[in-house]
Structure formats: structure tokens, C-alpha cells
Amino acid sequence: MSAPKVTPMVRQYLSIKAEHPDSILFFRMGDFYEMFFEDAEKASKALDITLTSRNKNDPDPVPMCGVPHHSANGYVARLVEQGFKVAICDQVQDPSEAKGLVERKVVQVVTPGMQLDGRYLDASQNNFVCAAVTGRGGVGLAFLDISTGAFLVTQVTTPESAFQEILRMGPKELVLPEKFEENARAAAAMRVADQLPTSRLESKDFENARTRDRLLEHFKTRSLEGFGIQDLPLATRAAGALLHYVQQAQRQEITHVTKIQAYFQDQFLWIDDNSARNLELLKNIRNGTRQGALISVLDKTVTAMGARLMSYLLRYPLIDPQVINLRLDAVEQAKDLARVRDEVREALKEVHDLERLRSRTALGHANGRDLAAMGESLKQLPRLWALLKENFESPLLCGDATDDGLTDVADLIDRSIREDAPPGVRDGGMIKPGFNEELDEVAALATDVKGLIAGLEAQEKERTGISTLKVRYNKVFGYYIEISKNQTKSIPPHYVRKQTLVNAERYITDELKEFETKVLGAEERRVALEYNIFTQIVDRINGEKNRLEKASHLIAWVDVLTALGHVADHNGYCRPVVDMGQTLDLQESRHPVVEKMLPGQRFVPNNITMNNLDQQILMITGPNMAGKSTVLRQAALCVIMAQMGSFVPAEKAVVGVVDKIFTRVGALDNLSQGESTFMVEMQETANILNNVSHRSLVILDEIGRGTSTFDGLSIAWAVAEYLHDYKDHGVKTMFATHYHELTDLTKTHPRVKNFNIAVNEWNDEIIFLHSLVEGGTNKSYGIQVARLAGIPASVIRRSKQVLQTIEDSEEARVAYSAKASGKGGKKDVQVQMSLFPTPGELAAQALERMDINSMTPLEAMNVLSELQQRVKRPEKAPADVTAETEDQE
């Protein structure tokens, strides 16, 4: 673009855009936000709005598009959802006061991790932005949810652990140093950077001294010891950099972030992302929704704060029995006191999302409706706190917060804010009549001008006795008093003549001028005064942000614990015994999700007992569809539920604390990474073997299926041995397999026990009993399952024929093998069976097709010699033998 064509407005736009090159700039122009150049092209496509241009007749027209300012939030949310950043550039000067170009500046940058509008946030999940930095000692991570004020930090030893932690916390955005990729191992491990919107900060923003000073300044402290992060230099660096990033985006201090909380991975039951997905904790595998996941059964919370906490507790179960049992005490009280629990839950239903309302208020994004929702929520506290203190003993259900009903804040909002306040804070109509005398007067002027004029006119008529007196208004003279000429002799001395007409005179008075000043611009003054009063109310509420945070925290816990009590009561769960023992004993246990998806059917419960002394590995065989996977998963889910502080679906449960849960179930190709199904399966298995401890629980649903039978069986056998013998203690393992040979492990490994899922056979059909019983089985019932799946009858018949041929051939081979070796028993490792004809069978087929009458004696001798060699040493594929034999013919 040539210089002469750049208008002052475009120059202003380009200057501001240069400061935000990675954002789509929403440039306020009157009642619209406009976008120009590449931003307009991107936004019009993403939002499906019309792309037009300025100066259409110009050889180089400027692309542009726009959205109304009053509905901009929806458009911003749609862009952010697609991974864009949006910089909001507002007019910060009244156009009427501007001498030339109106002053504009960016007032907020909205990113996927910094969305504040509750309409576009998942109420049940935190909306974290994460910062990561590597250094000596590992990786520092910081997570900040600006919508709630939550600020968490941790430090891990490896990039791989950092990657898993990020997946576990589930941030919506990642912030990294600009040279992060220079650490090759970190860059390789942090594959999440390819999946999340990622922003870069200069390396200096992650420097130790700079980040520490930022945190000290923000929290207004002299030391970080009170937060427990003084010995976590990498976590401190990540936290300071993240705080800087968020403050820059918000263009203000984030005062509602009042504390920073350090946590460590070894405080929690470790569940890697693969295991969380396989166990369907938060999402089902089929379509990624909550339906059919464990969270859908447990999350009967009635507040958004409770829903977020429930999700967090499910992702981070504990390993400290003392703390776990404190939670279980509270859940037990909530379960037993059903009437009180229901009253508490009814009160909680009236509580809005106080955490996010508090944050919006602190950041200046709250409107009248937000404050009204806050006030309505706070009105519930006195009743709620009384119920808790009078009925419960658990400190988790009646903490210190119950001493503060926040009645002063609730009263302030109740007296000041209208329940039907409009969405805009500069539109008026937010403040209740009677709260502010000056506002009442201005509002009366603005809403009843005609009535006020009529009243003034009647007052003057009575005072002067002039019946023809009228109070009128025009744009030239403003308000005036008009009197007929035949009555002008009666006018009071303080009337000042303003205009003479043919039949009347017009006058003004000081009182009328004062009235005019009040009336003209009364609406503008009313709106401005309302906004000023509103900001004063907001400031007073912000002064109580710590009290609001404390109340929100307790409400979330009360909601979660009463919800778990409700679920335990309605679903027939038992309280687990959680200790530091090595036993996992689940009597009459059930799968918490599957049993809810069997309407009208009874779920068959099972007993599962494991320990590290005599029943450490459960080798489980049985046909597909019998329920092996269900039994495996229900054991893991019961452990997770117990350690998060929930009752479990069983008649009796003893859970010796587990430190890590690993699962390896069906794998899929990872074609984008060039990895086959078998490679994915082996990577998952390697992760398990390299990270287990004697307190871990391992769930293996088939090992070695992605390769040949011999290879797969060998790997599965070796994996089972490794877990059995691990550091002399072994690892509790549930191993479902179709390799029936693995049941022989019980002969040499005393802590391996065989179990199978029982079935009944009747008239060539099978009936699944879904019961876990002792002992192995050597039948997979694959053909019967195939019939149930709808495989055509002809294929089923052929399958039976092939199976019979293979089994007969196998029996012959075993008999021959036994005879040749001089032993009468079956060999330890059986020969893998082939579905192709054997060389002998091919030779017989070739002989049958030969026309011996047309062959010379020499040709016949050559063919027989060749076939004999093939039978003795089948060096070529079966197809080659057949082809060569046919050539001889």
C-alpha cells in the first residue's frame, strides 16, 4: 500500500495491529467491531460472514468485515473455539470530545485459555492455561484458570512426566519459551504442543529473578515460603511467566488470584492419559462425551463449582489413607442423613457459579445480571450454613466458612441491583429505585418529563393566576413560558421576556432554566450516574473477594460430598476400607457404569481378591463377550473411586492403597506417527513395565495380538513373568488372554492364579454367565460368538470344518511328536497351526490331478522326486509347489 493512501484511521489500525501480530484485531468503529486485511479474510471465513472492502474503486481495496458490538462476545467465542486469539480494541475516548481521531487501544486479548464469558465455557471443567519451562532438575509447570482464580504449580523430573501431567490437567492453551525446542528431549516428549494453541514468550520472561519478583509483587509478600514453592525454582519460573502472560492479555492486575498452590505427582494415584481413556473416566471412547463414562455416574452435583471439583477429584485420587478416610467420613454422614442431605442439595440448587462470578467481578467484566445472580446465591448461605453446622460433624462439611454468611454483601446487592438488569452496564436500568437519592431524581426527570412539565405549568398557573399560561419547548429557545398578550399585565417581576409573538409573549425564569438543565441530558446523566454507582458497588464487592473465595470453596466441597452420599445411597454402594495394606478385596463388586446401562437387567456381581503374597496375578480366560474386560475395568474403577473418597459398588471392599494404575487394552494404528497396531501395543506395554511399582495395579486386556501367535505368546508369557517377579514383591495384575497356554504359568509361578468367565454350552449354543470363577479354560467359543454377531451361516459352517481339520491335524502332530521324542505327554509349547494346506496335502492334490497316461517314465520319476523333496523340506510356499507340479503335467 502506498503512503498517500494510508488514512489516519488505517495508520492507527496498522500501528495497533503491529503490537498484536498473532491476534485477530477487533477494531471498534461506532457500533461495530471491524476487521481489515488478512484478519478480515480469516474472520469472514471462520465466522461465515460477508467479506467486503473499503475503497472498492481503489486498485488495491482493503478487505474488511465487521460484527455489531452488542453481539461481539458470541463472535469472539466462535473464533477462540477455533484456536484464534482475539485482541479487543475499544474506543477509550468520547467521540464528542475527540479533536480528530478517536483514541483507541487494546483492552483485552481473548485466547482459548482466557475466556471469561460463562456462556462459552464448560461449567463442569476448569479452563486452564499452562506454562512450561525446562531446566536443570526437570520441567516446571504452572496452571492458571482466570475464570475461577485457581493457580496451581508443580515440578517434575522428566519431559515425559510433564507431558502426562499436562494431559491430565487438560489445559486449553500452552505458553512456552521461544527457544523451547532447543531441548530436543523436551520438544519430543511435549507432543501436546502440537495439539494445543501455543503462545511464545521471550526467554527473559522465564528468568528466575524476574519471575520471582513478579510473584512477590502480585501477592504482596516478601517471600514465597508461605506458598510452599521456595524450593521449586522451575515451577516458580513457569508461574511467574504465566502470571505475566495473563496480565498482559487482560491489561490489568488479576487481583482475584489470591494464592498459588503447589502439588506433587506422588501425592496422587497416578493414572496416565492412556489408562484414563481406556477406563473412560471423563469421556467415553466412542464419541468423547460424558455419557457412559464414570463421571456421568458420580457427578450428581447441582452447582458448577461442585462439578469442577468432582472432575478434579476423579483425575487426582489420593494415596494417603488418612485424608481419604476423612472424605469417606463426610460421604458416610451425607449418605446416612438422607433428609438433611436432600435439604442441603435443594439449597445448593439456588447457588450460581460464585467462583466465576467473583472472577468476572474482579476483572470488570460483570454486569447487573451477574451481581443479581451473586446476590441470589449469597441469600442461601445462612440457611445452608445452619443445616451443615446443626447436622454434620465432618470438618469438610462444616468448615470455618460457615461462620460467615456474607449477609452484608447479600444485603448490598439486594438493595442496589435489579433482578431484571439489562446485559449492558452502560445502558442503565441496573440500580433499584431508593438506593441512591440523586439517581432517583435524575431517573424521574428522564422518565417523566411530560409529567414534570405539566406539574410545573400547573404550579405557575396557580402562583400567577394566569389561566392561559403554558410551558413549552423548542430546539431554538429550549423551555419557555408562553402567556397570551391580554394577560401579560399579570406576569410576576422575575419573569424575563425571551420572545414576542403576534398574540403572545414568551418568558423564562431561573427556576425554568434550572429545570431545563436537569431535563436536557437527564437520560445521559442517568446512565452515567448508574454506571458510576455500579462500579462503586463492584469495588465494595471486590473488597470481600477473600470471603467470597472461602464460601465458594466450601460450597464446592459440600456439593461434591453430598452428591457422593446421594450416589452411594441410591446405588447401593459400600464404604471401602482403605489402608496401607497390599490387599485388594472386592466382594460382590459391580461395574458402576455398566450396571446403570442395563435397564431391567441384573448385573452379575463378582468377587475379586488380590494381594502380593499368594494371589498376585489373575490370569483370566474365556470367550469374547463373556465379560472379561468388564471385570478388569470394574476392579480398576473401584480402586479409583475408593481413593478419591467415594463409596464403591460392592457388598464389601478392602483397598490397600495403589500408587499407580496402568491399563493396556485394544490398540489402534497411529498412522500419523507411522506406528502400527503392534508398535502402539508394545509402547504401552513398555510404559507399564518401565514405571510400575509393587503398589501398582496393572490391567492387561490381551498382550501380543498384533503379531504372530508364537511371537505374541512369547511376549505375553515374558511380561507375566516380569510382573510376577518384579523386585521380589511383584505387581498386582489382572491379565485377560486368549492364549490358553498362559494358564500353565501356575505350575512354575506360585502367585499366578487362573480364573475364567463361566459359560454354559447347550445345543451348540453358549450362554454367558458373566461370573468370574477359579480355573482356566481352553475354549474361546469364537465361532459361537461369530454366529451371535450375525456372520452368515455358510461362513460359520466352513469355520467349523476348518477348525475340525486344524484340531485333527494338531492331535496327529502332538501324537507324532510324543512318539518321536519317546514321551507320552503333550509338549510344553504347541506348534502354531496354519490355515493353509500342508505340503503333504498339496502333494496329494497334485498327484490326483496328474494324467499319468501321458507321462513318460522319466517325467514321472522327476515329478515324484520333486514332490518327495517338498514333503521332506518344504522350502517354497505352498503355491509354488502346486504351480511347479502343474507345470510338470
Q: What's the confidence (pLDDT) of residue 8?
A: 87
**624 among annotated binding-site residues:** yes
The residue that leads in pLDDT, 789 or 211, is: 211
- H/E stretch holding 588 reads strand 584-589
Q: What value does the mean pLDDT take over residues 234-245? A: 96
Encoded amino acid at 493, one letter: P
Residue owning grid cell 473416566: 281
Q: Flag whether 629 is marked binding.
A: yes
Least confident of 26-35, 89-98, 853-862: 853-862
Q: 628 a known binding residue? A: yes
CA torsion 134→135→137→142, rounded to 10°?
A: -40
Q: What is the per-residue pLDDT across 743-786, written as a single tens digit (0 to 9) for each? A: 999 999 999 999 988 877 666 666 777 888 898 877 777 777 77
Question: Look-up: residue for cell 490381551?
Answer: 702
At residue 444 the predicted structure's pLDDT band, cuts being 50, 70 and 90, is confident
pLDDT band at 834 (very low <50, low <70, confident <90, very high): very low
Cβ atoms of 360 and 366 within 8 Å: the answer is yes
Residue from 730, 758, 759 nearest 745 by CA: 730
3-state secondary structure of 463: helix
The C-alpha cell that represents 638 in the structure block: 473401584
- Predicted confidence (pLDDT) per residue in 524-536, tens digit: 888 899 999 999 9
Q: What is the pLDDT of residues 381-399, one digit of tens each?
A: 999 999 999 999 999 998 8
CB-neighbour burial class of residue 393 (10 A; exposed 0-12, middle 13-18, buried 19+) = exposed
Angle formed by the axes of helices 545-571 and 354-362, nearest 10° = 160
Average pLDDT, the chain: 87
Residue 405 in marked binding region: no
Residue pair 361/371 in contact (Cβ under 8 Å)? The answer is yes
Q: In what side-by-side order are the strands of the sheet with 138-145?
A: 198-201, 173-177, 129-135, 138-145, 150-156, 261-262
Helix (H, G, I), strand (E, B) or coil at 656: strand
Among 423-427, 572-576, 728-732, 748-752, the range with the most confident prediction by mean pLDDT is 572-576
Alpha-carbon distance values, 612 to 697, 729, 733 (Å) = 11, 6, 10
300 annotated as a binding-site residue: no
CA distance 516 to 474: 11
Mean pLDDT of 646-673: 82
| Distance of alpha carbon 637 from alpha carbon 353, whole angstroms | 29
Residue 59 is labelled as binding a ligand: no
Annotated ligand binding at 625? The verdict is yes
Q: Is 626 annotated as a binding residue?
A: yes
pLDDT digits (tens, 9 = 90+) for 259-301: 999 999 999 999 999 999 999 999 998 898 999 999 999 999 9
Would the pLDDT of 878 be above 60?
no
Q: Is the pTM of this model over 0.85?
A: no
Amino acid 765: pLDDT: 67
* Integer Cα distance of 101 and 869 in angstroms: 98
**Listed residue (160, 63, 457, 124) closest to 310, CA to CA:** 124
Q: Is 604 helix (H, G, I), strand (E, B) or coil?
A: coil
Average pLDDT of the residues in 236-252: 95
